[in-house]
Amino acid sequence: MTEATAIPPNSTLAIEDPAASETPVQGERFFLLLAIFIGIFSGLAVVCFRITIEFLRIQLFGSSLSPTFPRILLAPALTGLVIALLVMLVFPRVRGSGVNQTKSALYVDDGYIPFRTAIGKFICSALAIGSGQSLGPEDPSLQVGASIASALGRRLELTRERLRLIAPVGAAAGLAAAFNSPISAILFVIEEVIGRWTAGLLGAIILSAVSSVVVSRYFLGSEPLFHIPAVQFIAPSELLAYAALGIVGAVASVAFAKAIQVLRPRMKALPRWLQLFQPAMAGLIIGAIAMAGRPELMGAGYEFMDQAMHDQFPWKIMAILAGLKILTTVISFVSGTPGGMFAPTLFIGAMLGGAVGGVERLFIPHLTGSIGTYALVGMGVLFAGFLRAPMTSVFMVLEVSGNYSIILPVILANTLSYLISRNLQPTPIFDLLSQQDGLGLPSMEEQREERVLRVEDAMRSVDVPVVDSQLSANEALRVAEQQDATEILVDDPPFGWSSLSLETLRNAVEQGPDEQTVASLLSEPHMPQIYPDHSLEIALRHISQWPFLPVTHRANTRKVVGLIAMNDVMKTLVK
């Protein structure tokens, strides 16, 4: 039961922190130092999380590679019942993957995530993944890291602005440690959680991600999640094959998202007593599928992705595993079982990529691409199409493989998957989940697609007299009266531009000496420099102080290409 929180009517997200509200201890340097400690603590938490998952898996299924009948069927079901009791009675905020909960802390709750949530997420997700639910540890690790960061921020009494931004710092640390890929974690948090960033915030995110990976590698070893075989891209004609993979991946992504979109609200609408049995039923179904001969679908499935990349499955089996993984992940997720969608998405992508590569190799034998390359590209394809993080999807594949020779097929396939899924499923999965939970969180995809209104969209032609500051007040008045103007624009090099009203000029002429110039009437400061490509937000910061602002040419600031005033901005905004 996710707790929906309404956004305060006038709440805003301050990305740039006002230094005036901070003590020196809470400044930029301290924030960066704190990011390192957040990374260390998050890395330690993720190490414990990974060990706990493995410990529970051994306790529930035994150390045998082939668990016995009672265990493989009953362990997921009975553990699901325990998880449901914990979620409904003790930890009501731990349902879901954890990404939207972290975004909610940033945009709704002023950075507040109860530390109880981290404990609940740790316990419930470890039970779920260890018992074989078709979910992954990355998203829960992200939320655990964010919870640790939020708790530290509150303990140190950070300002509200810093506290808002500290959750993404912890999120990057948790995700980086879980995925053992700092670049992908940094990009995902920027691309999907915060959307915008400053140099200071980016530095903090990088420091936390790197320090968490160092900690996790120290305890768990520096071995990557996947042992990537030799991958290569040789013939340009293969791009058609990878384009086909992008299209197939987009269709699979949309089917995956549509199933969650339809089933999740129906499961949440059932009576509370029935919700108690949903994780148990999901575990029972997954156990039955495993008993039928497909144990690969239980848990995160990293080892089976590795096998797919090493061409150890026939293409038909990989196609079946991709379809069944969509089914089991949907069942687990809509049941309210805490856990992430990163690992299932990568599993589906790897199997789908391997299957497409196998089919293409069967019918077009001269294609030289290895199954490992197709599986690896397929992981990025599903990530781009389902999770809708296109930049992260590209760099994730490159970071995991360490091979930039496959950059062309990765970009082509991921871009096709992303664009097609956007058209077939307009609402991204995380936006969909937030809407179902009653949270009005900002859509990062909508923000990326939203057109930025610029000064050139609102400015008008120069319709006031333009005079030199060395002109006499008498002459300037004459020019203004001839053009029936109430204001004049004054060029006052080297200081810039300013303006004078007709009334000011008349008073100066009537009361002052005849030889006084326009420059002697100007007040400080001069008008700010505004260029056509500036956003309207920049113009609005200054426009209230002046009747209008001159829009100047970047190559020649003494050349005015237009004027902009408050009414011009308002007309543009209401179009």
| Domains of the chain: residue spans and CATH | 23-220 (1.10.3080.10), 238-448 (1.10.3080.10), 455-573 (3.10.580.10)
- Phi and psi angles of residue 395, each rounded to the nearest 5 degrees, phi first: -70, -25
Per-residue pLDDT tens digits for 470-481 = 988 888 888 988
Instruction: Give the pLDDT band (50/70/90) at residue 233.
Output: low
Give pLDDT, residue 20. 42
Give pLDDT, residue 372. 85
Per-residue pLDDT tens digits for 282-329 = 999 999 999 988 899 998 888 999 899 888 999 999 999 999 999 999
Give pLDDT, residue 9. 36
> What's 310's DSSP letter?
T
CA pair distance 48, 246, nearest whole angstrom? 37
Contacts of 426 (CB under 8 A, 6+ apart): none
**Which contacts (CB < 8 Å, 24+ apart) does range 290-294 have?**
290/72, 290/132, 291/69, 291/72, 291/73, 294/320, 294/321, 294/324
CA pair distance 327, 83, nearest whole angstrom? 20
Per-residue pLDDT tens digits for 184-201 = 999 999 988 887 778 888
Mean predicted lDDT score pLDDT of the chain: 87
Give pLDDT, residue 312. 92
Per-residue pLDDT tens digits for 201-221 = 899 999 999 999 999 999 988
Query: Which of 315-319, 487-491, 510-514 bottoms out in mean pLDDT, i.e. has the lowest?
Result: 510-514
pLDDT average, residue stretch 223-233: 72
Higher pLDDT residue, 206 or 542? 206
Instruction: Check: CB of residue 550 under 8 Å from CB of residue 461.
Output: no
Run of H or E including 466: strand 466-468
Calculate what percentage of the chain has a pLDDT beyond 90.
Answer: 52
Give pLDDT, residue 320. 95
Contacts of 540 (CB under 8 A, 6+ apart): 569
Give pLDDT, residue 15. 36
Query: Which of 26-30, 264-268, 440-444 bottoms out in mean pLDDT, i.e. has the lowest?
Result: 26-30
pLDDT average, residue stretch 428-451: 85
Per-residue pLDDT tens digits for 329-341 = 999 999 999 999 9
Burial of 159 (0-12, 13-18, 19+ CB in 10 A): middle
Per-residue pLDDT tens digits for 4-20 = 333 333 333 333 343 44
Look at residue 160 and tell me whether its pLDDT is greater than 50: yes
Per-residue pLDDT tens digits for 35-69 = 999 999 999 999 999 999 999 999 998 876 667 77
Please give the structure tokens belonging to residue 181: 């890929």
CA pair distance 236, 520, nearest whole angstrom? 70
* Nearest of 174, 105, 170, 101 to residue 136 by alpha carbon: 174
Run of H or E including 470: none
pLDDT average, residue stretch 259-277: 91
Run of H or E including 555: none
Look at residue 561 and tell me whether its pLDDT is greater than 60: yes
Instruction: Check: CB of residue 548 under 8 Å from CB of residue 460.
Output: no
Give pLDDT, residue 19. 40
